Every structure is written in structure tokens, then in C-alpha cells.
């Protein structure tokens, strides 16, 4: 199935590495005007270089998704430059360098920081793009959660599992609120993928036996890739998914 996003404007958060980079490059390759943002300028520079290398340049912007004003500015810039906003991919998130610890050792700041990026950031961007999408009577919002939001986190990080579950709840609520305007809101829940320095450290921490157990617990007996996640996102963004909303798609190789 060949997907074409020519003439569409796409915003991708968390685009400096991993899933966000793969998603940004995929949309750019398929014709979209992509605005890729992150708080990591070096990673954004590399994403831009890779886009140039494949012959489909994109726009990179340093944006903190927890900064509502900065989020609003990016949405306004993208709409003013292209005349429309078609797709939002809320990918920014993660564990922010935290590791699993006993419940009683978690500080208020540790708990809240993960929620701010994973939940507040998705809310801020959805809020920022909704007016343009409503005017167009069409839009696609895709949130990237995690298998941790549907079950138990491999990391043992309480805030991460809770935040991803909250993001799934936000997905379903917005799907019902925005559906009458032709806007779909869906969620991709990746399984474990070696996609960035954090997941690479996690993978190495398992050791050879732990790695084998993880892979054997996957129906397809292999790990996925960032491109697998990008493909699921593009499906939700496509015309083929026009009557699908409020759904969570697990992209995890089968559990």
C-alpha cells in the first residue's frame, strides 16, 4: 500500500531520535511538509541531515512540549507557512533518565516530570492544532504510548506506566470530542524496540539470558524497529484509516 501525504502538514514531537526521527523521515519521504521538534538540538540537526540525505528536507524546531506557549507558537508557524495542519504525532515522552525504584523512594518531582512530558505535552499539542483541524473539518492526531500503558512496565517506573495509561485515556476522550469535526485520534503502543540510548541501556542491562527471554516472549521471536512504529503511525494518518478513531494499536510483535 503506497501512502501519499503530498500537500499535507505534519508535526512530530520527540523527533531528535528513535521513533520520532523515523516517523519524521517517513512523512517527509512521502511528500508531507514536516515540522519536527524536540528539546535536543543536536539530535534534531541529525534528523535534518538524514532528511536532506534522502532528498526530502524537513523543518526542525527546538520546542519543549511542556511549554504551552512554545507549543502554540510552533502550531501557528506551521499553519501560517503552509495554510493547514493535517497530522499531529505526539511522540515526545520517555522515562527522562529515571530507573525503577521502590515506590517510597519516588519524589514528587520525579513523578510529575514524567507526566508533564508524556501527558501534558500531548494535551498541549492537541489543544494547539485542534482549531486549524476543526476549520478544515479534517485532521489526524496519533499519540505514541507504550505497552507499559496497557500492562506492566518492563522498567518498573511507576510514573511511566501511569502516564502512558493516562495518555491512552486522553486518546479515547479526544476521539469522542473531536470526531464530529472529522478529526480522528488514535494511539500506537510500541513494544520494546532498541530505538535510542535509553532503550539500548535497558537492553544491555538484561544480559544475554534476559535478552533471550524477552525475544522468546514475542510471538514473532524478534525485536521490531522504529520503522515498524512509523508504518503504524502512517496508517492511522492515512485515508485508509478514516473510520478508525479512539483505538490503541499494539505494535509489539505479538504478546
User: For position 85, which CATH number holds?
Assistant: 3.40.50.720
Tell me, what's the pLDDT at 120?
98
Tell me, what's the pLDDT at 97?
87
Q: Is 233 part of any domain?
A: yes
At 128, list the grid cell. 494547539
| Nearby residues of 24 by Cβ (< 8 Å), 6 or more positions away | 10, 12, 15, 34, 36, 47, 51, 58
Interval 158-178: pLDDT, tens? 999 999 999 999 999 999 999
User: Following CA atoms 5, 11, 16, 17 in sequence, which dihedral angle do they give, to the nearest 10 degrees?
Assistant: -50
Tell me, what's the pLDDT at 1?
67
pTM for this model (two decimals): 0.96
Tell me, what's the pLDDT at 230?
98
Catalytic residues, by residue number, are 160
Tell me, what's the pLDDT at 33?
98
Interval 73-123: pLDDT, tens? 999 999 999 999 999 999 999 998 888 899 999 999 999 999 999 999 999
Q: Is 201 part of any domain?
A: no
Tell me, what's the pLDDT at 153?
86
What parts of the chain have a pLDDT lower than 70? Answer: 1
Q: Is 72 part of any domain?
A: yes
Specify the number of domains making up the chain: 1
Q: Is 204 part of any domain?
A: no
- In terms of residue numbers, what domain contains 132? 9-196+226-246
Q: Is 221 part of any domain?
A: no
Amino acid at each position: 500500500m503506497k501512502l501519499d501525504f503530498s500537500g499535507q502538514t505534519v508535526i512530530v514531537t520527540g523527533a531528535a531520535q528513535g521513533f520520532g526521527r523515523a516517523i519524521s523521515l517517513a512523512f517527509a519521504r512521502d511528500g508531507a511538509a514536516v515540522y519536527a521538534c524536540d528539546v535536543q538540538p543536536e539530535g534534531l540537526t541529525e534528523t535534518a541531515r538524514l532528511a536532506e540525505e534522502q532528498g526530502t528536507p524537513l523543518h526542525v524546531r527546538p520546542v519543549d512540549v511542556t511549554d504551552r506557549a512554545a507549543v502554540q507558537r510552533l502550531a501557528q508557524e506551521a499553519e501560517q507557512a503552509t495554510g493547514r495542519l493535517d497530522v499531529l504525532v505526539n511522540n515526545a515522552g520517555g522515562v527522562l533518565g529515571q530507573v525503577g525504584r521502590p515506590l517510597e523512594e519516588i519524589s514528587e518531582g520525579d513523578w510529575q516530570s514524567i507526566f508533564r512530558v508524556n501527558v501534558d505535552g500531548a494535551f498541549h499539542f492537541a489543544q494547539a492544532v485542534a482549531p486549524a483541524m476543526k476549520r478544515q473539518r479534517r485532521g489526524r492526531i496519533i499519540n505514541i504510548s507504550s505497552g507499559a500503558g496497557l500492562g506492566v512496565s518492563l522498567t518498573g517506573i511507576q510514573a511511566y506506566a501511569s502516564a502512558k495509561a493516562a495518555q491512552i485515556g486522553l486518546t479515547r476522550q479526544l476521539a469522542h470530542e473531536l470526531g464530529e469535526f472529522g478529526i480522528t485520534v488514535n494511539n500506537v503502543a510500541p513494544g520494546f524496540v532498541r530505538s535510542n540510548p535509553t532503550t539500548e541501556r535497558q537492553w544491555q542491562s538484561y544480559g544475554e539470558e534476559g535478552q533471550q527471554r524477552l525475544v522468546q516472549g514475542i510471538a514473532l521471536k524478534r525485536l521490531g524497529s522504529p520503522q515498524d512504529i512509523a508504518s503504524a503511525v502512517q496508517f492511522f494518518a492515512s485515508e485508509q484509516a478514516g473510520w478508525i478513531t479512539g483505538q490503541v494499536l499494539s505494535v509489539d510483535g505479538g504478546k
